[in-house]
Chain A
Amino acid sequence: MPAKTQRVNDLSWMIGGPQGSGVDSSANAFARACAHAGLDVFGKREYYSNIKGEHSYFTVRAASRVIRSHIDDVHLLATFDAETAFRHVREVVDDGAIIYDPSLARTKLSDIPTIEPRLKGDLKTYLIARGVGETLDDLLTTAKQRGVTLVPVPYNDILEQIADEFKVDALSKIARMINMLAVGASLGLVGLEFDYTVQALNDVFRGRKATVDMNASGARKGYDLAKALAPDFSYRLERMARKEPRLFLTGSQAGALGKLYGGLRVQTYYPITPASDESEFLEANEILQLDGHGAAEAEDSAFLKEKDASVLVVQTEDEIAAITMAIGAALTGARSATATSGPGFCLMMEGIGYASINEVPVVITLYQRAGPSTGMPTRHEQGDLRFALHAGHGDSPRIILASGDFEEMIRDGLLSFNYAERYQMPVIHMVDKALANNSGTVAFPQLTDLRIDRGRLLADGNGFGPEHPYHRFELGENPVSPRAVIGQHGTLFWNTGDEHDETGHITEDPVLRDLMMEKREAKLQLAAKEIPDSVKYHYFGAKDAETVIVSWGSTKGPLLDALDRLLAEKESVGFLQLRLLNPFPTEAVMAHLAKAKRRVDVEMNFGAQLGGLVRERTGVDLTHTILKYNGRPMSNSELHDAIKAIIRNQAPRRTVLTHGA
């Protein structure tokens, strides 16, 4: 037999299983093993709105270069139930492999209650077309026929050995270990030194030795078995030397870290997927350390010597309370925020308007998910751009900043607070489900350039008092008035949701009304002028490209990966990533689109919301849209192909992407 060609360090691995069976921890272990071996990893998590039983899966890509997205192909599929094989077999490439449990070989498609009728029908057609029956065995035979390597792992036999070895009285107690056996088998197939698996298990089980040992023993058995069964599997992973430490993060953690770095001191939230992970991370890390940074020069260095600080996380009764409580906290001077997703954001409208009219700096991190209504709670979408722009009645200025990757999430956490305080208005920091649940390695973020800017926040001892009364909404040259906080001597003020005068008392005077409306809107103009281009947008790819893609948020990952390929294919393509969506960077967008022959809007929603916004704010029409709204993030492969078709003039104006299980 001729030696197979082998691909080294470019793997797309998938594991799946019923929810609650440890799919996430096994993927975490696999990804961490790769990371410890010096590889770059990217992980994507897909799950149902369900706690136990429905199918969830996790894709991990491991490679020797930065990867920011998934591809459609799966090189190695690790399963321990029949459903995962049924659902994903068609994604496995011909020279790929499937790890499976031979004791399930007779499981029939029709016996799996959690596969939706539509997909069952599809699969039946697929099997009938290949002239086979409907058991797992039949399914795997079709895979084998196209060259896929089958790797049977008798999980139960291995579990029994382990039970013996570690004196466990009931197999059910270690049943969850099956997923780590699958991880071991995967790493054996790709040939990564076993040490990294042990390191990863130490991470996942936080050094609990007995658990680590037992899981390592199981993983080792899987590892040896798979290696022996398919010693020349086409996909290999090899250790890479790495001089620099890196971070292994999820997006939710990145969101929390950015807020903490930005000085978050009160976070309110009501539980909702996919936003609550951020708040839970904050709550688990509520005691903070202060850095002595610059303390030497600070007059009150004594203060800074006390190293303790804290963030107060409050779980509220609903999102109305979350936003209004955060507003109350912000009025005292604490940097305050809340985090939510679409349904919760709906409840925050009135509060956002209140923050806007009262010029309260508050940050709302909006983790978008598939809507409308409850929609698909655990699935991805970028459907809330228009909503965030207009949420609330009346003209209520707000700043909208959208992050495209983990590092931006961290930086934007701080920037959101800066803008909230500098322009004294709510900031909606837009992220999404894909970002929140993605995980992977990133270079240590360089944050040293970041500064905290509290805008016109008054210092104590500011000279205000009965003789020199303070006016919270002073009308002056600068539309941003000096801001006092509750409890600051000499600075009484009032707030009201009604239109107000300079002190904050109710007014319906038409002249004052105009002045206050104009003052508030002028702050937005000021923000448009002051916020640097480096925050407003990024441009990637060929200068003066023939085809310019415009997008926002987490499509950045797959777009950059697709762009690399298109540029390597010598296409004249550029990508304009818009980060500041309100105030809108009109000039920059016009400049970048002016010369382009093809202007392509890429976003994860039905209505091409950004495309419409671009037209509205620039008068420039986008020639093409690539949209997706099936709840699954774009893969770089489908994006690449869709863009390529547009470049070749083979695509309609509107392309809808549909990949993803």
Chain B
Amino acid sequence: MALEQVLKPQDYATEVHNDWCPGCGDFGILRTIQMALAELKLDPYRVAMVSGIGCSAKTIHYIKTYGVHTLHGRVLPVAQGIKLANPNLEVVAVGGDGDGMGIGGAHFVNAGRRNLDMLYILHDNGVYGLTKGQAAPTLKLGVQTKSLAHPNINDAINPIWLALAAGATWVGRGYSYDVKHLKDLIVQGIRHKGYAFLDVLQPCPTYNDINTKEWDGGEDRSEQNGGRPLPRVYKLDGQGWDPVVHEPMEIEAKAKQALAKALEWGDRIPIGVFYNNEHVPDMGERIRQRIPTYYQKPPAEQRIAGPNGEPLTDLTKLFERLTVQPTA
């Protein structure tokens, strides 16, 4: 799937006019996806970008690969349908937090059970951007963002917890203003053999006036830090943090560690890889055990008709089983 010629991130950009608000965190995610595709030398003709509905879902129109902008909440089943029918494609799903954890909640949890080899990037902005700022399932209880008439009456879902509980085998969190770090996470998520879930803190300057870039960066806490901002977002890497399940026996310990880490919020918000377990067979492999030719001849690449349209599927054996023989 890797390309011979070198493509630059901008080679993965379309000319479609981008209509996100200035300063939107989505820009960072878009750029890092393009950087990751270039770094991985992915052939645009072998990549499907799939999205739900929301500001974030427009991402795929700005990327020069196959792009499928689906329905609100349905990014995962469409992405899975593409991947299942043609496991030789690289499939990346993107969508909003409302899309993935609200209306698409059932798909979110069932994707983990399948562990299909793909990456899902969640644009976590705490609000329903495209419908003008209502509370998203990731907004904390009691928080009142700009459009809300009252403080949020629901508590928030913890996407990392939910992804782990559902069975995602690679779980990470990135920050849309830390482009290089986010790009590395996307590269790892795409490379991961299995279902990778990446929660991306994506400030929405228009509607989320609480979890802003400035808040993430801790600008309100400069007094505590000698006049310099004291960032809330910090990186897990390089502090003896090891999210990798090296042996199956470590699964429990590593999952517990990830869950504990994912509870951190407020003054300290970790980004990086929370959990990485390649000991669970992905769905493609599970299918191959039943259908040995699955990878060589996936559903999308099977011939079904002869040169003149003759149906090639031979029903003889099935018919034999259902046949009543002649009687003398």
Q: Which residues of A pack against B, CB within 8 Å?
A: 32, 35-38, 239-249, 253, 257, 260-263, 265-266, 268, 285-291, 293-295, 297-298, 300, 303-304, 306, 308-312, 314, 316-318, 320-322, 324-336, 350-351, 354, 414, 441, 444, 447, 450-454, 485-498, 504-506
B311 adjacent to A452 (CB under 8 Å) = yes
Bound-state Cα–Cα, A452 to B81, Å: 23
A492 adjacent to B311 (CB under 8 Å) = no
- Nearest-neighbor residue (CB-CB) of B319 within chain A: A247
Q: Name the interface residues of B294-322: CB closer than 8 Å to any CB of A.
A: 294, 297-319, 322
B302 adjacent to A297 (CB under 8 Å) = no
A451 adjacent to B311 (CB under 8 Å) = yes
Q: Does B144 contact A (CB under 8 A)?
A: no
Q: Which of A248, A260, A308, A497 contacts B315 (CB 8 A)?
A: A260
> 20 more A-B contacts (CB under 8 A) besides A289-B316, A310-B297, A329-B85?
A36-B324, A247-B324, A265-B302, A289-B314, A297-B306, A306-B297, A309-B304, A310-B302, A320-B77, A320-B107, A321-B106, A325-B81, A327-B81, A333-B85, A333-B300, A334-B86, A414-B311, A451-B309, A487-B88, A498-B69
A492 adjacent to B65 (CB under 8 Å) = yes
Bound-state Cα–Cα, A6 to B327, Å: 24
Bound-state Cα–Cα, A340 to B319, Å: 24
In the complex, chain B residues whose CB is within 8 Å of the CB of A287:
291
Q: Does B45 contact A (CB under 8 A)?
A: yes
- What 0/1 readout, one digit per residue, does chain B (149-184) give for beta carbons within 8 Å of chain A? 000000000000000000000000000000000000
What 7 pairs between A and B have smallest CB-CB spacing?
A328-B81, A294-B306, A263-B304, A451-B309, A265-B299, A329-B85, A325-B81
The stretch that binds A, out of B46-54, B230-238, B254-262, is B46-54
Q: Name the interface residues of B62-98: CB closer than 8 Å to any CB of A.
A: 64-71, 73-74, 76-86, 88-89
B107 adjacent to A454 (CB under 8 Å) = no
Q: Which of B60, B110, B322 has the most CB of A within 10 A?
A: B322
- Nearest-neighbor residue (CB-CB) of B105 within chain A: A317
- Nearest-neighbor residue (CB-CB) of A267 within chain B: B299
Q: Which of B85, B315, B317 has the most CB of A within 10 A?
A: B85
Bound-state Cα–Cα, A262 to B306, Å: 12
Q: Does B328 contact A (CB under 8 A)?
A: yes
B312 adjacent to A290 (CB under 8 Å) = yes
A497 adjacent to B327 (CB under 8 Å) = no
A485 adjacent to B70 (CB under 8 Å) = no
A490 adjacent to B45 (CB under 8 Å) = yes
12 CB < 8 A contacts A-B:
A261-B315, A263-B311, A266-B299, A293-B312, A310-B291, A320-B77, A325-B78, A325-B84, A331-B82, A332-B85, A333-B300, A444-B323
B86 adjacent to A487 (CB under 8 Å) = yes
- Nearest-neighbor residue (CB-CB) of B19 within chain A: A506
In the complex, chain B residues whose CB is within 8 Å of the CB of A324:
70-71, 74, 77-78, 81
B293 adjacent to A495 (CB under 8 Å) = no
Q: Does B325 contact A (CB under 8 A)?
A: yes
B327 adjacent to A451 (CB under 8 Å) = no
Bound-state Cα–Cα, A486 to B89, Å: 8
- What 0/1 readout, one digit per residue, does chain B (104-120) give for beta carbons within 8 Å of chain A? 00110110000000000
Bound-state Cα–Cα, A269 to B301, Å: 22
A328 adjacent to B82 (CB under 8 Å) = yes
In the complex, chain A residues whose CB is within 8 Å of the CB of B84:
266, 312, 314, 325, 328-329
Query: What is the distance, in angstroms, from A270's C-beta to the closest C-beta of chain B?
Result: 11
Q: Which of B48, B106, B299, B314 contacts A311 (CB 8 A)?
A: B299
Bound-state Cα–Cα, A447 to B77, Å: 34
In the complex, chain B residues whose CB is within 8 Å of the CB of A497:
53, 69-71
B306 adjacent to A310 (CB under 8 Å) = no
Given A246-B324, A291-B314, A309-B313, A268 and B81 touching (CB < 8 A)?
yes
B107 adjacent to A285 (CB under 8 Å) = no
A245 adjacent to B312 (CB under 8 Å) = no
Query: What is the distance, in angstroms, from B278's C-beta to the closest C-beta of chain A?
Result: 23
Q: Does B44 contact A (CB under 8 A)?
A: yes
A304 adjacent to B89 (CB under 8 Å) = no
Query: What is the distance, in angstroms, from A369's C-beta to the closest C-beta of chain B?
Result: 23
- Nearest-neighbor residue (CB-CB) of A454 within chain B: B305
A328 adjacent to B50 (CB under 8 Å) = yes
Query: What is the distance, in angstroms, from A142's C-beta to the closest C-beta of chain B?
Result: 39
Q: Does B240 contact A (CB under 8 A)?
A: no
Given A35-B324, A294-B308, A351-B71, A317 and B315 touching (CB < 8 A)?
no
Query: What is the distance, in angstroms, from A370's C-beta to the closest C-beta of chain B?
Result: 26
Q: Does B266 contact A (CB under 8 A)?
A: no
B61 adjacent to A494 (CB under 8 Å) = yes
B327 adjacent to A487 (CB under 8 Å) = no
B80 adjacent to A325 (CB under 8 Å) = yes
A265 adjacent to B304 (CB under 8 Å) = yes
Given A286-B290, A310-B294, A354 and B322 touching (CB < 8 A)?
no
Bound-state Cα–Cα, A496 to B45, Å: 18
In the complex, chain A residues whose CB is within 8 Å of the CB of B316:
289, 291
Bound-state Cα–Cα, A326 to B299, Å: 12
Bound-state Cα–Cα, A504 to B63, Å: 13
B322 adjacent to A450 (CB under 8 Å) = no
Q: Which of A260, A293, A495 contacts B69 (CB 8 A)?
A: A495
Query: What is the distance, in angstroms, from A218's C-beta to the closest C-beta of chain B?
Result: 23
In the complex, chain B residues whose CB is within 8 Å of the CB of A320:
73-74, 77, 106-107
B107 adjacent to A329 (CB under 8 Å) = no
Bound-state Cα–Cα, A454 to B312, Å: 13
Bound-state Cα–Cα, A263 to B86, Å: 16
Q: Which of A260, A334, A485, A487 has the most CB of B within 10 A?
A: A487
In the complex, chain A residues whose CB is within 8 Å of the CB of B46:
487
Query: What is the distance, in angstroms, from A286's C-beta to the closest C-beta of chain B?
Result: 6
B324 adjacent to A494 (CB under 8 Å) = no
Q: Does B16 contact A (CB under 8 A)?
A: yes
Bound-state Cα–Cα, A321 to B113, Å: 14
Query: What is the distance, in angstroms, from A97's C-beta to the closest C-beta of chain B?
Result: 26
Bound-state Cα–Cα, A505 to B68, Å: 10
Query: What is the distance, in angstroms, from B318's C-beta to the closest C-beta of chain A?
Result: 6
Q: Does B22 contact A (CB under 8 A)?
A: no
Bound-state Cα–Cα, A149 to B9, Å: 86
Q: Which of A35, A300, A331 has the most CB of B within 10 A?
A: A331
B71 adjacent to A310 (CB under 8 Å) = no
Bound-state Cα–Cα, A175 to B261, Å: 58
A452 adjacent to B89 (CB under 8 Å) = no
Query: What is the distance, in angstroms, from B45's C-beta to the closest C-beta of chain A?
Result: 5
Query: What is the distance, in angstroms, from B312's C-beta to the closest C-beta of chain A?
Result: 5
- Nearest-neighbor residue (CB-CB) of B103 within chain A: A320
- Nearest-neighbor residue (CB-CB) of B292 within chain A: A308
Bound-state Cα–Cα, A492 to B48, Å: 10
Bound-state Cα–Cα, A263 to B305, Å: 8
B77 adjacent to A316 (CB under 8 Å) = yes
In the complex, chain B residues whose CB is within 8 Å of the CB of A317:
106-107, 109-110
In the complex, chain A residues whose CB is within 8 Å of the CB of B312:
263, 290-291, 293, 304, 309
Query: What is the distance, in angstroms, from B53's C-beta to the closest C-beta of chain A?
Result: 7
A485 adjacent to B300 (CB under 8 Å) = yes
Query: What is the distance, in angstroms, from A285's C-beta to the closest C-beta of chain B?
Result: 6
Bound-state Cα–Cα, A295 to B303, Å: 11
B299 adjacent to A334 (CB under 8 Å) = yes
In the complex, chain A residues whose CB is within 8 Å of the CB of B65:
492
Query: What is the distance, in angstroms, from A419's C-beta to the closest C-beta of chain B?
Result: 14
Q: Does B287 contact A (CB under 8 A)?
A: yes
Q: Which of A293, A332, A488 has the most CB of B within 10 A?
A: A332
- Nearest-neighbor residue (CB-CB) of B306 within chain A: A294
Query: What is the distance, in angstroms, from B308's C-beta to the closest C-beta of chain A?
Result: 6
In the complex, chain A residues whose CB is within 8 Å of the CB of B48:
331, 486-487
- Nearest-neighbor residue (CB-CB) of A353 within chain B: B71
In the complex, chain A residues whose CB is within 8 Å of the CB of B89:
332, 486-487
Q: Which of A241, A320, A351 has the most CB of B within 10 A?
A: A320
Bound-state Cα–Cα, A623 to B88, Å: 59
In the complex, chain A residues whose CB is within 8 Å of the CB of B226:
none
- Nearest-neighbor residue (CB-CB) of B85 within chain A: A329
Given A303-B303, A496-B61, A261 and B313 touching (CB < 8 A)?
yes
